[in-house]
Amino acid sequence: MPKDRDTSLTRSNQGWLSVPEQRVIAWIVPRLPRWMSPDFLTALGFGASLGALAAYALTPSDPAWLWVVNVALIVNWFGDSLDGAVARRRRAERPRYGFFLDQSVDVLSQFLFAIGLGLSGFVSMEVAAIGLATYLMMTAQSLLRAEVSRTFHLASAGFGLTEVRCLLLAMNAAFYLKPPQRFDLAGLNVGYGDILGIVWIMVNLGLYVAGMAGQLTRLAREERPDGEDG
């Protein structure tokens, strides 16, 4: 493990969609106009998350707003995924500023999408909030791993923000085509959106524990107490 805390972070993206995604990004970036700066793209992505919140809140009156949410998800991907690539291509990188801004905005966007999902009624607010909490646990773990390994992992078990957005796109389409009908399960009134949310929560908790155990095992191997045989 690097001992110099000032070692630059390296990025690792092992998401299932990372290869085609990087090809798309490599095609788009050279074709963007100069006025689309990295900060503009970051703001565009965040604005899309605000739009998604508003559209989700309107779906109880008209489920067609789910398609607006899906457009907002695509715009959010566009802004969030291209800001860093544009900065690197234009040699306008600000590594610490960019990292802090990107992660801060991502957390806010995740919060807005989760609250919007709860407001839509397709998933209960309780399940949406707990799902957000477990996803933020995974985000915190990613940042902790970056601190001790100097490698920032953009995905866990093949899932990063791009894969999560694709899941939301599919889920929103399913909600529109077949709105959840609530039923009693173990004394709880739930719909299939809640069931999917509970599965999401359990998967995140399992990945968190597995990731914690794996990282601790590696660190214990690398940092043996003084006097202990190697």
Q: What is the pLDDT of residue 227?
A: 60
Alpha-carbon gap, residue 103 to 83, rounded angstroms: 12
Chain centroid, CA 135 distance in Å: 8
Alpha-carbon gap, residue 52 to 26, rounded angstroms: 26
Answer whether residue 228 is part of any domain. Answer: no
pTM (2 decimals)? Answer: 0.90
Answer whether residue 142 is part of any domain. Answer: yes
Residue owning tokens 């092992």: 14
Q: For residue 221, count other CB atoms closer than 10 A to its CB.
A: 10
Mean pLDDT for the chain overall = 91
Answer whether residue 15 is part of any domain. Answer: yes
Find the CATH number of the domain harbouring 83. 1.20.120.1760
DSSP 8-state class, residue 29 = G
Q: What is the pLDDT of residue 2?
A: 44
Answer whether residue 2 is part of any domain. Answer: no
Alpha-carbon gap, residue 34 to 188, rounded angstroms: 53
Pick the range with the lowest mean pLDDT from 58-67, 94-103, 165-174: 94-103
Answer whether residue 182 is part of any domain. Answer: yes
Answer whether residue 134 is part of any domain. Answer: yes
- Is 90 exceeded by the pLDDT of residue 123? yes
Question: 135 and 124 in contact (C-beta within 8 Å)?
Answer: no
- Is 70 exceeded by the pLDDT of residue 130? yes
Question: 190 and 123 in contact (C-beta within 8 Å)?
Answer: no
Answer whether residue 186 is part of any domain. Answer: yes
Q: Which domain holds residue 19?
A: 10-222
Strands 151-153 and 10-12: parallel
Question: pLDDT digit string (tens) for 137-192?
Answer: 999 999 999 889 888 888 888 889 999 999 999 999 999 999 988 777 777 778 99
Total domain count, the chain: 1
- Report the percentage of the chain scoring pLDDT > 70: 94
Answer whether residue 176 is part of any domain. Answer: yes
Question: 13 and 75 in contact (C-beta within 8 Å)?
Answer: no
Q: For residue 179, count other CB atoms closer than 10 A to its CB.
A: 15
Residue owning tokens 């001790």: 148
Residue owning tokens 């202990």: 228
